[in-house]
């Protein structure tokens, strides 16, 4: 007979970050950061400019390796960086075509949800900065990934768009997704957890032994 887990056993976290240390140049930016993320979680990553929020998200995403510690995840992720990464001469739909092909989201649905349908055939160079940010976020939705790493998703967004983003995030969590979000403005999200990164900017340069 297959042994069953005890009824009280918690499911494993979608993401488990243990004692992560990262240097940039000769500076220690992340010093032993640990956090876990479970299905339905929304974690707000806070800290002053330069505290290492983007560095942590890039490390979790696998874009850079930690100098110490481990990052374990049980699921696919989608990462939204500072750059919107849209090709100016391609239309919005053309820009999103690859993400739609590789992911499980539906282009029509995602454009509608983000109020981008009326811009679908416009070259990206003609989009406003807030529209570009929404377009970049469309890639995250198109991926269908359960784990979202969102680096300042609200930059350039108006109040209505921030409200819409909050609703999208809440729906993602309700479906079992999870996210880490860096932001310098309050988000319309309930029951969030927060993780504050201290600024190590004034620390003496250190070297790995």
Ligand X SMILES: Nc1ncnc2c1ncn2[C@@H]1O[C@H](COP(=O)(O)OP(=O)(O)OP(=O)(O)O)[C@@H](O)[C@H]1O
Least CB distance to ligand X at residue 89 (A): 29
> Residue length, the chain?
209
Report how far residue 178's alpha carbon sits from residue 38's, in angstroms, rounded to the nearest whole number: 7
DSSP 124: G
Phi, psi at 162, each rounded to 5°: -65, -40
Judged by CB under 6 A, the stretch of 51-59, 112-120, 137-145, 163-171 that binds ligand X is 51-59
Least CB distance to ligand X at residue 51 (A): 4
Which residues, other chains included, contact 61 with Cβ-Cβ below 8 Å and sequence gap of 6+?
77, 79, 149
Residues 161-200 that bind ligand X (CB under 6 A): none
Any contact of residue 60 with ligand X (CB under 6 A)? no
Choice from 33, 42, 51, 181 touching ligand X (CB under 6 A): 51
Any contact of residue 42 with ligand X (CB under 6 A)? no
Report how far residue 193's alpha carbon sits from residue 191's, in angstroms, rounded to the nearest whole number: 7
Least CB distance to ligand X at residue 161 (A): 20
User: Between 55 and 61, whose beta carbon lies closer to ligand X?
Assistant: 55
Judged by CB under 6 A, the stretch of 12-20, 47-55, 61-69, 116-124 that binds ligand X is 47-55
Any contact of residue 202 with ligand X (CB under 6 A)? no
Judged by CB under 6 A, the stretch of 43-51, 85-93, 111-119, 186-194 that binds ligand X is 43-51
First-to-final CA distance of the chain: 50
Chain centre distance of CA 70? 19
**Which of 190, 167, 180 minimizes the C-alpha distance to 43?**
180
- What six digits make up the tokens of 204? 């003496």
SS3 120: coil
Least CB distance to ligand X at residue 202 (A): 10
Judged by CB under 6 A, the stretch of 45-53, 110-118, 124-132, 158-166 that binds ligand X is 45-53
Contact residues for ligand X, defined by CB under 6 A = 24-25, 29, 47, 49-55, 201
């Amino acid at each position: 007979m297959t042994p069953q887990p005890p009824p009280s056993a918690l499911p494993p976290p979608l993401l488990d970050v243990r004692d992560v240390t990262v240097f940039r140049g000769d500076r220690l930016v992340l010093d032993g950061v640990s956090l876990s993320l479970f299905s339905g979680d929304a974690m707000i990553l806070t800290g002053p400019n330069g505290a290492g929020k983007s560095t942590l998200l890039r490390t979790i995403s696998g874009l850079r390796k930690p100098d110490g510690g481990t990052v374990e995840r049980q699921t696919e992720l989608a990462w939204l960086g500072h750059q919107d990464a849209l090709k100016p001469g391609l239309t919005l739909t053309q820009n999103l075509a690859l993400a739609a092909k590789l992911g499980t989201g539906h282009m029509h649905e995602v454009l509608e949800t983000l109020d981008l349908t009326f811009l679908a055939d416009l070259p990206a160079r003609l989009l406003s900065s807030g529209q570009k940010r929404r377009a970049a976020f469309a890639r995250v939705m198109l991926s269908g990934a359960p784990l979202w790493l969102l680096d300042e998703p609200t930059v350039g967004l108006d109040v209505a768009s921030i409200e819409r983003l909050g609703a999208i995030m809440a729906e993602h969590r309700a479906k079992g997704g999870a996210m880490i979000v860096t932001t310098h403005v309050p988000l319309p999200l309930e029951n969030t957890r927060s993780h504050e990164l201290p600024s190590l900017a004034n620390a003496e340069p250190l070297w790995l032994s």
